[in-house]
Structure 1
Amino acid sequence: MATEIEENDAQPENTYMIRPNFHHKFKPADVKQVLHEVLKEELDGKDYDEEQIAEWTQNIGNKTKKRLKGMGYDRYKFVVQVIIGEQRGQGVRMGCRCFWDFDTDNYTQDVYMNKTLFCVAAAYGVFFY
């Protein structure tokens, strides 16, 4: 009987938070800085290599999500989209549409380019009610 009570006491109570407080709200400027750092760390000095693109995009996405989780954004779900292409002077357009709460949810993006490749990375933060 005592074991059941101890197990029940260990469970956190629901806070019924419907909005994050100001300090825990997704801040696009801070997240953009993280994206910029990760892109520079992962792509500096690399030339476009079609066979490596899948690995690079996955590494960038995973590293970005890991850093975002460490920034104290409680109850946020993150989506990171990474696109890498060969730099040949072509134009590229990227767009997105989202159905979300403008008070709590947000996104940011950053672009990295060198002589042989370009990379566009976007990070979305969606508050989990």
Structure 2
Amino acid sequence: MADDEEVVEEAEEVLGAAESETAVSPVEIEKTLDPPKYEVRPGLGEKFQAQNVRDIIESTMKEQLLERQYRADQAPRWAKTISNAVRQRVQDLNMKRYKILVQTTILEMKGAGVKCGQRCIWDPETDDYADDIFRNDSIFCYTIVYGVYMY
């Protein structure tokens, strides 16, 4: 019987503590939340700025390649430098929620033709691209920038 009395006393103490916590706790005030904002499309003036990007591509390629002759050992480094510079300058345009992808290809001019193709599945109302070509006596450079809107 002594064991039963101890169990009952412990249960009363636990219930008493729970009641005192709820009685002392502050009253919760209901806060009204703003309705969620789902941006499915870029706002007016926030779309991909293809002409500005094209100007950036052209100026960056000229800065990097204007007085150079093709060198197979240096071409990968030049391509990486151009891609990084273009990406950084395009990101400075502050096009909100756009993922920027840059691809640069440098080839030696030897009289052979080049055919390239691209296929993308995207939203034509929000996503876009800009590209440009640089040529001199020994270098052919093609850079393309994709702007994909992140929903």
TM-score by length of 2: 0.74
- Report the number of matched residues: 117
Find the counterpart in structure 2 of residue 95 from structure 1: 117
CA–CA separation in structure 1 for the residues paired with 2:37 and 2:89: 25
Query: Do structure 1's residue 75 and structure 2's residue 97 form an aligned pair?
Result: yes
RMSD, aligned CA: 1.3
Percent identity of equivalent pairs? 35
How many Å separate the matches in 2 of 1:55 and 1:108? Answer: 22
Match of 1:47?
69
The residue type paired with residue 25 of structure 1 is: K
What residue ranges of structure 2 are gaps of 5+ in the alignment?
A: 1-35
- The Cα of 1:90 is off from its aligned counterpart by 1.2
Unaligned runs of 5+ in 1: 1-13
- Distance in 2 (CA, whole Å) between partners of 1:89 and 1:49 is 16
1:16 is displaced (CA, Å) by 1.6
TM-score normalised to structure 1 length: 0.87
Q: Which stretches of structure 1, 4 residues or more, deviate above 3 A after TM superposition?
A: none
Q: In the alignment, which of 101, 111, 116 is matched to residue 138 of structure 2?
A: 116
* 1:86-116 Cα deviation digits (max 9, x unpaired): 0011111111000000000000110000001
- Matched with 1:21 is 43
Higher-Rg structure is 2
User: What CA distance in whole angstroms lies between the structure 1 residues aligned with 2:101 and 2:76?
Assistant: 17
Partner residue, 1:37: 59
SS at match of 1:50: coil
* Aligned residue number for residue 86 of structure 2: 64
